[in-house]
């Protein structure tokens, strides 16, 4: 088991695609900044807190022109239930094969209640419209992350 090694700011963000409203989008085609956030599991306390905090500040994300995309190992069915249950206004990518988690360096050794196992770490990447990582968030606090990202985006835009 290895510790995660997340990509640093200044690196080119690995490409990804997601579906929304029947359309498929690529990172390269967004033409605007994006928050790609990784989380361990749908409908768990921390993951729900983080997703709902983004939902609750959605108008600020939209005003800032920031696209938000969540990623976990859960499948499309689980994501659909999670989005519907909490009214999440952003897409979720089912990374069941851990391709994105490995590409971004967020998969690795975790410890919980004395157990050591491999899993997706709660980390995020603020990606510029040019596809470069503007900021890497390695220690995400679910209830404060949305505000932190908005503050950072405003500072980076000035």
Minimal CA–CA distance to 93: which of 67, 119, 75, 118?
75
Our answer to whether residue 47 is catalytic in this structure is yes
Question: Is residue 10 domain-resident?
Answer: no
Which CATH number goes with the domain that contains 129? 3.40.30.10
Question: Is residue 98 domain-resident?
Answer: yes
The domain containing residue 54 runs over which residues?
34-157
Torsion of CA 96, 43, 13, 98, to 10 degrees: -20
Contact 122, 39 (CB under 8 A): yes
Question: Is residue 9 domain-resident?
Answer: no
Out of 34, 47, 52, 138, the active site residue is: 47
Contact 69, 18 (CB under 8 A): yes
Minimal CA–CA distance to 132: which of 18, 29, 9?
9
Question: Is residue 149 domain-resident?
Answer: yes
Question: Is residue 151 domain-resident?
Answer: yes
Contact 93, 16 (CB under 8 A): yes
Minimal CA–CA distance to 71: which of 40, 31, 30, 49?
40
Strands 123-127 and 133-137, sheet pairing: antiparallel
Question: Is residue 15 domain-resident?
Answer: no
Count up the domains in the chain and report the number: 1
With a cut of 70, list the residues of the chain below it in pLDDT: 1, 158
Question: Is residue 70 domain-resident?
Answer: yes
Beta-carbon contacts of residue 5 (< 8 Å; ≥ 6 apart): 105, 108
What tokens appear for 15 in the block? Answer: 């490409």
**DSSP strands (E only) in the chain:** 17-20, 23-26, 34-38, 67-72, 92-94, 107-112, 115-120, 123-127, 133-137
Question: Is residue 78 domain-resident?
Answer: yes
């Amino acid at each position: 088991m290895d510790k995660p090694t997340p990509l640093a700011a200044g690196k080119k963000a690995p490409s990804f695609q997601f579906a929304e409203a029947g359309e498929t989008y690529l990172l390269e085609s967004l033409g605007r900044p994006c928050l790609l956030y990784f989380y361990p599991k749908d409908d768990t306390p921390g993951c729900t807190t983080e997703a709902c905090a983004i939902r609750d500040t959605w108008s600020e994300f939209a005003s800032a022109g920031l696209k938000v995309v969540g990623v976990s190992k859960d499948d499309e069915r689980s994501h659909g239930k999670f989005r519907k249950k909490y009214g999440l206004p952003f897409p979720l990518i089912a990374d069941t094969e851990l391709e994105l988690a490995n590409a971004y360096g967020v998969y690795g050794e975790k410890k919980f209640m004395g157990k050591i196992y491999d899993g997706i770490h709660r980390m995020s990447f603020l990606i510029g419209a040019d596809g470069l990582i503007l900021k890497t968030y390695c220690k995400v606090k679910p209830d404060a992350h949305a505000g932190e990202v908005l503050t950072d985006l405003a500072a980076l835009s000035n």
